């Protein structure tokens, strides 16, 4: 039984609201759902136009991207195995961990075609999961930014405090990311002349000016226990530690490049350059690879044919689809709004 | 809740049908006869021990209320508890409840004892509830805990909570604390604010209610005003005219000598006409307008919610007086046409029947939502598979790197620096636990795979859709100013898939505005079809409606010569009977009739039966105006001459006699009995021995029936003095009898209701509502089967069927009228054989899987043999819930039209259930009266017509409207739109969330299975809440595949809903395949583009965020059918909003993603990648869409093209 739930006043209120509700709805195109609407119909003309348009945009863009990518000169040299002396070939980890071994490694690279300045020097690591959840989170952005937040290391475990004189001191910069800072160094000589690798302005300006504090100095960093990587100059504020800043923009994928520096002179074709590598960074323990990359850049970035090829392929496919649909319309035309295709006409015994 | 109710209904139904029953006719408000099941109550008692007797079915009690019995015979009957098994079934039907076995020896412990005018003593032993009411559910203090408790009853919130809780565990903290709690808090807050506001309004209205004032008899013996909330059981209250009744009170006396009070029960049952209530004669004399000398004790049943029953007795002056429903006035009613009444409060506050009835109707769930839940199950499986894959990957990875975990720079399971924790393990719990944690944290990351937000989105969209339905001018009933009402927000889309409509007849197909059309007086037919102005302007009465009168009949009545001719007398008696033999109350507007300014006084007839009102109005048009009625006399104005008729006794309409009679003493001392009743019950008690009058009337009755008129037969008899005395003594004895009062009264009636002189018959027309035939034709074209379920006679039902184009001449009519189960079965089997109906072979078990092909075949069959099945209620008794049911189902579904006549309310529900339980088809029930409530609640969609019959049907319905013809627009236009919109919305939401989760999944495979997300945690959270939600809702509310003109022009387009074109499992899987492709594209293209670059995780994450938002938005844009400005704003705006959010997030230096977007925006590669992602991801979908539109166009597609072409030609 469902009678009106409320008595008197509630009922009176409802009565009132009923009256209000029962006012005749006002006409407006909106409330009557009669607003003028553009109803896209996929007519043959539209379909072919759309596909052709895609082709017309994609193929030129693809070609441009492809040629830009082709114009990039890139020299990639993987040195992780090459820089292990023959005597340590079977025991690379021991070699890299031993403080007494000579880590300097001199390699020759040939430049195939002319590289115009600026030439970007990258180091490339492979099988290094900078995107591992434990790793990505192991940093303290507050500590990096302001001096007062030095003790803000809660998110940095297990690289948070060190005990110095029986006192727990926070590590600045704390966390696994900073701790594992890459510490191979490169020197390049061309025709026995030192090629200058400019290591300033390799990090984002925004990071340098805002994100990393100019009053935050490294403290207790790599002080004791297991050393993860590079040490930092405690006299320079974090905002000037550009290698650290670059490293702390963690990579998205296990194979990644990071900017090492820029060469501001051209390298000619057939130049034989000599690279002196201080091979310090331990990737041998987990089978990571290390490479040195020299690359010029265009509007598309470094050398990557994917974008260009993908654009050309998609453009061509659209062209084919346009042709295909054109054929379909010619071979099996269906007049727009043809009632013979209606379900009740196809099946005359159907609904009445 | 719904289940419980349905189960109860079924139990009732089976109880009713399980016992050998005798259908009994009861009077209806509509004045026609309907079979009812008197055993209903018993079924209920047997089941529920009467504790919930009021909760049963409203319709039977509603019906009973119309008998409006003056006599408390129920109690008398019940006073023989040991004999009731031997009783006639009918008397058992009146059985009240276990707790009230004996009306006179009520157990003190069970009954409420109310001492009249002694509230202290009343509340001495047991404190009764005060009259303060509380409809609000919270107080300031309890709001928070209680609201949260209620909110967390929803499964969705529990899921949110579980995910948020998981995220708080240190090893699983995938998101930051705030980010993970954000969605839950957001939803909780919004709901809490909404609930709080509603509750505040309830508080306000409660306060208003509780502080009303009312006159209460004080100790000093005078009436003083008192606040409602201070009133207690036992208080004596005085109510003046037009005041509201503060509690349930037993009448002690009124301003009327005979103790009559007129009340309006609008607030209770929505019926606007006046009802009469009586004070017991014993107490009336003890009450004056200023005092109340009644003392005594009332023992009544415990508070219950049945507003049509009341059982109690009163101890007064040493007598026990039985009280029944006609002696009680319920809270919320308004006193009318009575100067004052005095009564004693028996139930107050929360215990009043009005308050006990405030339970809301159980919610229904739409079919689409049920399917959606099935697919949500699939999504859960996907979620499980993905989480397992991550866990498995973790296991393999951990085992392979087991030796390196200590020093691995990106894992480092121990503290190796010389710090306070040196050598301790850091967040590493062993490989098995790590695997488990990896599984759980991937559940957190992938949580939106289960589209919880979809439920909120759907609610929003449905509210929007309801707004448009309510605002629709075409569904506004201008004649009574009623808008369309959406009472249920859960089943909008079901309107697009209706296959069966079960319609009531009276008030639904017809207007339920009775019009006196024809009269057969003394064997002669008079038609009042031509309006003739009144010959003489002697009429001083103005009626609300003008009735066309028949000139011949008028002349006959006004013939001066030969006033004693047989025909003339019969005509006179005919109209006297029409005027006197009814329960109509004349309400004279404004001043008393003595004030004759212009000689015309407005008069309004109030009555419970529209038929009686029509008859009285008609009589008035012929010069016989009823203008005063009390329990003792009737005053009739006969062309200006006032005739006072003394009413010696009245035998009310009852279901056995099917007639009503009144004994009248004329001013000249002649005594007559005037009878009116159904033809079947009248023709057997006539004195006329098949003379010309008898034959003429009989012929006319048949003609009237065929025309669809409702007929009544009138007869009278002069009573001799002996007969009168014999009757009077029998009547007096019967009406004071304590036991068997009903039987004795019936016996008394039989003394005078015999050898009657036939006066004639009346034909009342209940006109078809406007547009009914067109609507039915249109619905049929749409593939909807319309069944009519009516309480009317078979002939009337068929004639209405013909006039509303349900039945056409070319149809084979199969009529099933049978009196036994075997006979029914034979008829069904024979009909099936004759018309070649194959047994569908669908039992209860596999009946639900009807394929589209099956449907097509069935329709073929229909085409060859259009059949109509007409079946009556008696036959249905033998069929429903019996073995023959499946035969009926086969036959009925093969027929184009089914008309069920003389069906009882519960049978209506039974028929709906016949279809509902055996097929997967959607059913819609539409009706206007209380007798339709059961079917409205049983059907998938219940539509109530706000008609003449009160609001019971509306209160039980999901949608309510003014006219049957609105059904056409409701189903064909709004139903179609709602279904298309919501079907797409669900698929799109599945896609939108899944493509995001898949993308995250692919990335996790590249991050050593460590559940890293490249997207910032805020982007993950905001993705479904802000980035992509607005266009979803806007398109879900406003997208329009076809204009309403086209939809109405081609009703067959409705078939899209029947074929489940907008949402089905095939579409789900296609969407999922597409989703997989799109997620791969959106993941791989940026990875390949930036494979040899110094791209950092936040930049790539930012790229993915934008790419996926643009992708899903363009995907949506591609599927929009009709672009209007607001959609452009929503769709393209949401991309800008996303950019805005990213800019804000990337401008916070403390987030690692600081300044990312600015860097990216400078790079052309970034933009070319986004373009590539969007095009590559959507290309297959677009190509497939184009191809399918060329090769396999859907009906909707073709109609869209037709629309576009005609628009181009400018003739739209």
CB A258 within 8 A of CB A122: yes
Query: Is residue A109 located within the same domain as residue A254?
Result: yes
% of chain B residues with pLDDT over 90: 25
Residue B77, H or E segment: helix B73-78
How far apart, in whole angstroms, are the C-alpha atoms of residue B283 and residue B273?
Answer: 27
Q: How far is CA A143 from the centre of its chain?
A: 24
Q: Which of B995, B980, B1184 has the alpha carbon at shortest distance from B1064? A: B980
Instruction: Say which residue, B512 or A347, is predicted with more confidence.
Output: B512
Q: What mean pLDDT comes out for the span B100-111? A: 45
Pair of tokens at residue B133:
């009411």
Q: Estimate the crossing angle of helix B1029-1038 against helix B452-471, to 10 degrees.
A: 30
pLDDT band at B600 (very low <50, low <70, confident <90, very high): low
B350 DSSP 8-state letter? G
Catalytic residue (choose from B504, B921, B1074, B1146): B504
Q: How far is CA B1167 from CA A52, B1107, B1161, B1178, in A?
A: 21, 10, 8, 17
Query: What 3-state class would DSSP assign to B1200?
Result: helix
Q: Which domain holds residue A142?
A: 73-296
Under DSSP, the state recorded for B105 is: S
Question: How far is it, in rounded angstroms, from Cα B367 to Cα B545?
Answer: 46
Residues A107 and A237 in one domain: yes
Q: What is the pLDDT of residues B269-290, one digit of tens each?
A: 655 667 778 888 778 888 887 8
Q: Half-sphere exposure of residue B667, counting CA atoms within 13 Å on the CB side?
A: 7
Residue A341 lies in a domain: no
Better-predicted residue by pLDDT, B591 or B770: B770
- Report the residue from B208, B410, B977 with minimal CB separation from A128: B410
DSSP letter for B214, please.
Answer: E
Average pLDDT, chain B: 79
Q: Do A38 and B1123 touch (CB under 8 A)?
A: yes
Mark whether A153 and A58 lie in a shared domain.
no
pLDDT tens digits, residue range B34-47? Answer: 333 333 333 333 33
Question: pLDDT-based confidence at B546, cuts 50/70/90?
Answer: low
Helix (H) or strand (E) holding B812: strand B812-816
Same-domain check for residues A288 and A180: yes
Q: Are residues A192 and A309 in the same domain?
A: no
Least Cα separation, residue A3 to chain B (angstroms): 5
Residue A285: inside a domain, yes or no?
A: yes
CB B327 within 8 A of CB B279: yes
Quote the CA–CA distance of A233 and A238 in Å, as a whole number: 9
CB contact under 8 A, B1200 and A286: no
Look up residue B494 and give its two tokens: 């079901």
Query: Do both A102 and A46 map to the same domain?
Result: no
Distance CA A192, CA A186 (A): 15
| CA-based nearest residue in chain B for residue A302 | B1093
Q: Name the B residues in 23-82 with CB < 8 Å from any A CB.
A: 54-58, 61
B784: pLDDT strictly greater than 90: yes
A235 touches chain B (CB under 8 A): no
Helices (H) and strands (E) in chain B, counts: 43, 36
The chain A residue lying nearest B1058, using CA atoms, is: A351
Beta pairing, strands B34-36 & B112-115: unpaired
C-alpha pair distances (Å), B1186 with each of A316, B471, B1074, B1121, B1203:
18, 36, 15, 14, 18
In-domain check, residue A345: no
- Nearest CB to A249 within list B133, B1055, B1096: B1096
On whether the CB atoms of residues A317 and A300 are closer than 8 A, the answer is no
More confident residue, B855 or B279: B279
Distance from CA of B340 to the nearest CA of A (A): 18
**Could B212 and A257 be called an inter-chain contact, meaning their C-beta atoms sit closer than 8 Å?**
no
Instruction: Determine the pLDDT at residue B739.
Output: 63
Q: Are residues A60 and A126 in the same domain?
A: no
pLDDT in tens, B658-689: 788 999 998 888 899 999 988 877 888 888 67
| Separation in Å, CA A149 to CA A138, A146, A242 | 16, 6, 21
Tell me the C-alpha distance between B372 and B378, whole Å. Answer: 10
Chain A, 129-158: which have a CB under 8 Å from a chain B CB? 129-136, 139, 141-142, 145, 157-158
B932 given a catalytic annotation: no
Other C-beta atoms closer than 10 Å to the C-beta of B668 total 6
**B205 and A157: CB-CB below 8 Å?**
no
pLDDT by residue (tens digit) across B959-1002?
999 889 999 999 999 999 999 999 999 999 999 999 999 999 99
* Angle at which helices B692-706 and B794-803 cross, to 10°: 40
CB-based contact (8 Å) between A25 and chain B? Answer: yes
Rounded Cα distance between B876 and B461, Å, is 42
Any domain includes A18: no
Query: Which residues of chain A make contact with B470, given a CB cutoff of 8 A?
Result: 21, 25
Return the sign of the alpha-carbon dihedral for residues B170, B171, B177, B182. negative
- The pLDDT, as a whole number, for residue B358 is 59
For residue B624, the cross-strand partners are: B638
Q: Is the peptide bond before A173 cis (omega within 30 degrees of 0)?
A: yes
- CB of A22 less than 8 A from some CB of B: yes
- DSSP state, B929? S
CB B51 within 8 A of CB B3: no
Interface of B with A in 413-442 (CB under 8 A): 413-422, 426-427
* Closest C-alpha to B898, from B793, B807, B836: B807
What digits encode the pLDDT tens for the residues B149-189? 877 777 777 887 888 888 888 777 777 777 777 777 877 88
Nearest to A39 among B401, B1151, B1203 (CB): B1203
* pLDDT score of A161 more than 50: yes
pLDDT at B571 over 80: yes
The residue behind tokens 């929007």 is B464
- Determine, yes or no, domain membership for A352: no
Packed helices B1029-1038 and B976-1005: angle between N→C axes, nearest 10 degrees: 160
d(CA B25, CA B904): 10
DSSP per position, B892-951: HHHSSEEEEES--HHHHHHHHHHHHHH---EEEEEE-SGGGHHHHHHSSEEEEE-BTTBS
Task: Report CA torsion sign: A112, A113, A114, A116.
Answer: negative
Whether the pLDDT of residue B105 is over 80: the answer is: no
Is A336 part of any domain? Answer: no
Is A8 within a domain?
Answer: no
- Which 3 state secondary structure label does DSSP give B656? coil
Q: How many CB atoms lie within 10 A of CB B566?
A: 11
Does any CB of chain A come closer than 8 Å to the CB of residue B591?
no
Nearest residue in A to B474, CA atom: A32
Which stretch of DSSP H or E encloses residue B650?
strand B641-651
Q: Is residue A26 part of a domain?
A: no
Task: Specify the higher pLDDT residue, A338 or B724.
Answer: B724
- Same domain (yes/no): A95, A67: no
Residues from chain A that touch B413, judged by Cβ atoms under 8 A, are 158
Note whether A91 and A230 are same-domain residues: yes
State residue B538's pLDDT score: 46
pTM of the model: 0.80
Pick the closest to residue B808 from B776, B830, B840 (CA basis): B776
Q: Which residue has the higher pLDDT, B940 or B843?
A: B940
What pLDDT sits at residue B361? 53
Q: Out of B357, B470, B863, whose CB is closest to A3?
A: B357
User: Which of B42-56, B163-177, B188-202, B1059-1073 has the least mean pLDDT?
Assistant: B42-56
A331 touches chain B (CB under 8 A): no
Phi/psi of residue B710, nearest 5 degrees = -95, 130
Q: Is B805 helix (H, G, I), strand (E, B) or coil?
A: coil
Q: What does residue B891 show for φ and ψ, rounded to 5 degrees?
A: -70, -45
Give yes or no for residue B68 having a pLDDT over 80: no
Q: A144 with A213: CB under 8 angstroms? A: yes
ipTM > 0.95? no
Strand-pair category, A193-195 with A185-190: antiparallel
* Residues 6 or more apart whose Cβ sits within 8 Å of residue A159: A138, A171, A174, A175, A176, A178, A179, A228, B412, B417
Is A292 found in the same domain as A308?
A: no
Same domain flag for A319 and A239: no
| pLDDT value for B655 | 60
In this prediction, residue A136 carries a pLDDT of: 92
Asked whether residue A255 falls in the same domain as residue A307, the answer is: no
Residue B1023 CB partners (closer than 8 Å, separation 6+): B448, B996, B1015, B1105, B1108, B1109
CB B370 within 8 A of CB B922: no
User: What is the number of domains present in chain A?
Assistant: 2
Residue B21 pLDDT more than 70?
A: no
A75 pLDDT above the threshold of 90: yes
Q: Which pLDDT score is estimated for B1078? A: 97
Structure-token pair, residue A305: 């044919």
Domain final position from A273, A296, A319: A296
Residue in the block written with tokens 């025991």: A91
CB B1004 within 8 A of CB B445: yes
Among the listed residues A45, A55, A58, A41, the one whose alpha carbon sits nearest the alpha carbon of residue A326: A45
End-to-end CA distance of chain A, in Å? 40
Best CA proximity match to B419, nearest among A267, A322, A179, A230: A179
């Amino acid at each position: 039984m469902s009678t009106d739930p409320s008595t008197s006043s509630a009922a009176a209120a409802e009565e009132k609201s009923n009256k209000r509700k029962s006012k005749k709805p006002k006409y407006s195109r909106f409330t009557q759902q009669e607003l003028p609407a553009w109803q896209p119909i996929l007519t043959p003309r539209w379909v072919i136009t759309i596909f052709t348009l895609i082709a017309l945009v994609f193929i030129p863009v693809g070609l441009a991207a492809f040629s830009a990518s082709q114009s990039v000169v890139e020299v990639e040299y993987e040195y992780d195995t090459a820089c292990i002396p023959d005597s340590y070939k079977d025991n690379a980890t021991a070699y890299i961990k031993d403080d007494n071994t000579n880590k300097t490694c001199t390699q020759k690279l040939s430049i195939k075609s002319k590289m115009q300045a600026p030439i970007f020097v990258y180091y490339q690591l492979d099988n290094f999961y900078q995107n591992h959840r434990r790793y990505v989170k192991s940093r303290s952005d507050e500590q990096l930014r302001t001096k007062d937040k030095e003790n803000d290391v809660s998110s940095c475990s297990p690289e948070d405090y060190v005990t110095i004189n029986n006192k727990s001191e926070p590590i600045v910069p704390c966390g696994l990311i900073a701790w594992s800072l890459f510490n191979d160094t490169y020197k390049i000589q061309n025709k026995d002349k030192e090629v200058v690798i400019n290591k300033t302005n390799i990090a984002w300006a925004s990071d340098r000016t805002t994100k990393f504090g100019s009053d935050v100095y490294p403290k207790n960093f790599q002080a004791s226990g297991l050393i993860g990587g590079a040490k930092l100059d405690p006299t320079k504020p974090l905002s000037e530690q550009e290698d650290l800043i670059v490293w702390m923009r963690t990579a998205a994928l296990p194979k990644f490049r990071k900017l090492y520096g820029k060469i501001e002179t051209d390298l000619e074709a057939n130049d034989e350059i000599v690279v002196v590598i201080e091979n310090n960074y331990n990737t041998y323990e987990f089978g990571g690879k290390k490479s040195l990359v020299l690359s010029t850049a265009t509007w598309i970035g470094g050398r990557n044919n994917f974008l260009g090829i993908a654009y050309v392929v998609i453009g061509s496919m659209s062209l084919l689809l346009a042709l295909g649909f054109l054929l379909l319309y010619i071979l099996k035309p269906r007049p727009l709004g043809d009632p013979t295709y209606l379900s009740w006409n196809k099946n005359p015994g159907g609904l009445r | 809740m719904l289940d419980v109710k349905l189960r109860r209904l079924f139990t009732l139904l089976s109880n009713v049908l399980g016992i050998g029953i005798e259908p009994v006719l009861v009077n209806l408000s509509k004045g026609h006869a309907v079979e009812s099941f008197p055993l209903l109550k018993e079924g209920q008692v047997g089941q529920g021990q009467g504790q919930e007797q009021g909760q049963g079915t409203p319709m039977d009690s509603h019906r009973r209320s119309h008998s409006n019995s003056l006599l408390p015979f129920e109690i008398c009957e019940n006073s023989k508890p040991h004999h009731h098994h031997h009783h006639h079934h009918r008397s058992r039907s009146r059985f009240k409840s276990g707790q009230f076995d004996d009306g006179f020896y009520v157990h003190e412990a069970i009954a409420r004892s109310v001492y009249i005018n002694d509230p202290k003593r009343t509340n001495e032993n047991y404190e009764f509830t005060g009259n303060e009411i509380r409809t609000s559910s919270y107080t300031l203090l309890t709001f928070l805990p209680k609201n949260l408790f209620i909110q967390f009853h929803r499964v969705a919130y529990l899921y949110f909570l579980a995910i948020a809780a998981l995220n708080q565990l240190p090893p699983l903290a995938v998101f930051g604390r705030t980010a993970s709690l954000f969605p839950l808090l957001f939803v909780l807050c919004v709901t809490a604010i909404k609930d709080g506001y509603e509750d505040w309004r309830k508080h306000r209205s409660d306060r208003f209610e509780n502080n009303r004032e009312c006159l209460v008899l004080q100790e000093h013996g005078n009436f003083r005003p008192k606040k409602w909330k201070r009133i207690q059981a036992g208080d004596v209250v005085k109510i003046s005219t037009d005041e509201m009744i503060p509690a349930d009170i037993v009448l002690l006396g009124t301003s009327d000598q005979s103790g009559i009070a007129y009340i309006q029960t609008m607030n209770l049952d929505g019926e606007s006409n006046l009802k009469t209530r009586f004070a017991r004669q014993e107490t009336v004399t003890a009450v004056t307008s200023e005092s109340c000398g009644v003392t005594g004790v009332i023992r009544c049943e415990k508070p219950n919610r049945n507003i049509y029953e009341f059982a109690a007795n009163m101890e007064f002056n040493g007598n026990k007086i039985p009280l029944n429903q006609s002696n009680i006035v319920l809270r919320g009613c308004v006193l009318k046409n009575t100067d004052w009444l005095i009564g004693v409060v028996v139930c107050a506050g929360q215990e009043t029947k009005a308050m006990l009835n405030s339970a809301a109707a159980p919610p229904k769930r739409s079919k689409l939502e049920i399917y959606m839940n099935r697919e949500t199950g699939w999504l859960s499986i996907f979620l499980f598979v993905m989480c397992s894959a991550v866990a498995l990957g973790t296991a393999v990875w951990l085992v392979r790197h087991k030796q390196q975990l200590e020093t691995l720079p990106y894992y480092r399971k121990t503290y190796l620096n010389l710090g306070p924790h040196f050598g301790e393990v850091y967040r590493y719990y062993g490989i098995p636990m790590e695997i488990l944690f990896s599984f759980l944290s991937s559940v957190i990351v992938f949580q939106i795979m289960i589209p919880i937000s979809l439920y909120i989105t759907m609610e929003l969209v449905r509210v929007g859709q309801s707004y448009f339905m309510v605002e629709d001018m075409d569904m506004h009933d201008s004649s009574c100013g009623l808008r369309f009402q959406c009472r249920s927000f859960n089943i909008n889309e079901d309107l697009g898939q209706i296959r069966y409509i079960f319609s009531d007849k009276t008030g639904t197909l017809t207007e339920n505005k009775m019009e006196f059309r024809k009269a057969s007086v003394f064997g002669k037919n008079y038609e009042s079809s031509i309006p003739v102005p009144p010959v003489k302007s002697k009429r001083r009465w103005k009626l609300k409606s003008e009735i066309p009168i028949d000139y011949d009949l008028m002349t006959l009545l006004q013939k001066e010569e030969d006033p004693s001719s047989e025909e003339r007398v019969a005509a006179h008696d005919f109209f006297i009977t029409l005027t006197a033999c009814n329960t109509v109350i004349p309400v004279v507007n404004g001043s008393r009739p003595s004030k004759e300014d212009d000689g015309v006084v407005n008069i309004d007839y109030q009555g419970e039966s529209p038929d009686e009102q029509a008859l009285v109005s008609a009589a008035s048009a012929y010069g016989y105006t009823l203008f005063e009625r009390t329990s003792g006399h009737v005053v009739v104005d006969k062309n200006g001459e006032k005739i006072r008729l003394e009413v010696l006794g009245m035998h009310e309409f009852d279901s056995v006699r099917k007639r009503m009679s009144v004994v009248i003493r004329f001013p000249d001392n002649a005594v007559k009995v005037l009878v009116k009743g159904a033809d079947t019950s009248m023709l057997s008690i006539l004195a006329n021995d098949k003379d010309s009058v008898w034959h003429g009337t009989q012929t006319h009755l048949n003609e009237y029936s065929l025309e669809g008129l409702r007929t009544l037969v009138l007869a009278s008899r002069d009573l001799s003095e002996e007969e009168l005395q014999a009757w009077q003594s029998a009547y007096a004895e019967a009406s004071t009898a304590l036991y068997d009062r009903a039987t004795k009264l019936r016996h008394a009636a039989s003394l005078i209701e015999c050898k009657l002189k036939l006066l004639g018959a009346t034909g009342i027309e209940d006109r078809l509502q406007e547009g009914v035939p067109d609507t039915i034709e249109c619905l049929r074209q749409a593939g909807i089967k319309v069944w009519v379920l009516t309480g009317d006679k078979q002939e009337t039902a068929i004639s209405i069927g013909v006039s509303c184009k349900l039945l056409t001449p070319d149809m084979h009519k199969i009529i099933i009228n049978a009196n036994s189960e075997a006979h029914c079965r034979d008829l069904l089997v024979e009909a099936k054989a004759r018309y070649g109906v194959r047994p569908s072979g669908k039992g209860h078990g596999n009946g639900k899987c009807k394929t589209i092909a099956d449907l097509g075949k069935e329709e073929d069959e229909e085409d060859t043999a259009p059949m109509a099945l007409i079946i009556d209620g008696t036959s249905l008794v033998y069929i429903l819930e019996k073995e023959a049911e499946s035969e009926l189902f086969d036959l009925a579904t093969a027929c184009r039209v089914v008309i069920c006549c003389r069906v009882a309310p519960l049978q209506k529900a039974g028929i709906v259930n016949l279809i509902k339980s055996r097929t997967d088809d959607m059913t819609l029930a539409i009706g206007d009266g209380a007798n339709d409530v059961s079917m409205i609640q049983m059907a998938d969609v219940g539509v109530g017509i706000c008609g003449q019959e009160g609001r019971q049907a509306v209160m039980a319905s999901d949608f309510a409207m003014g006219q049957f013809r609105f059904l056409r627009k409701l189903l064909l236009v709004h139903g179609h739109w709602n279904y298309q919109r919501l079907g797409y919305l669900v698929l799109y939401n599945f896609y939108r969330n899944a493509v995001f989760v898949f993308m995250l999944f692919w990335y996790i495979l590249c991050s050593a299975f460590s559940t890293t997300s490249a997207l910032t945690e805020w982007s993950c959270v905001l993705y479904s809440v802000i980035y992509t939600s607005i266009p979803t809702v806007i398109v879900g509310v406003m997208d329009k595949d076809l204009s309403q003109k086209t939809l109405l022009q081609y009703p067959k387009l409705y078939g899209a809903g029947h074929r489940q074109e907008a949402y089905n499992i095939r579409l789900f899987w296609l969407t999922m395949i597409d989703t997989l492709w799109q997620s791969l594209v959106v993941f791989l293209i940026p990875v390949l583009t930036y494979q040899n670059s110094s791209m950092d995780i936040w930049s790539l994450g930012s790229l993915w965020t934008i790419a996926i938002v643009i992708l899903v938005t363009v995907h949506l844009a591609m599927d929009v059918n009709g672009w209007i400005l607001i959609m452009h704003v929503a769709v393209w705006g949401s991309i800008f909003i996303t950019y805005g959010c990213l800019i804000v997030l990337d401008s916070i230096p403390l987030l690692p993603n600081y300044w990312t977007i600015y860097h990216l925006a400078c790079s052309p590669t970034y933009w070319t990648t986004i373009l590539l992602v969007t095009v590559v991801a959507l290309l297959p979908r677009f190509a497939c869409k184009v191809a399918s539109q060329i090769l396999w166009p859907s009906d909707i597609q073709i109609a869209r093209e037709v629309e576009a072409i005609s628009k181009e030609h400018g003739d739209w």
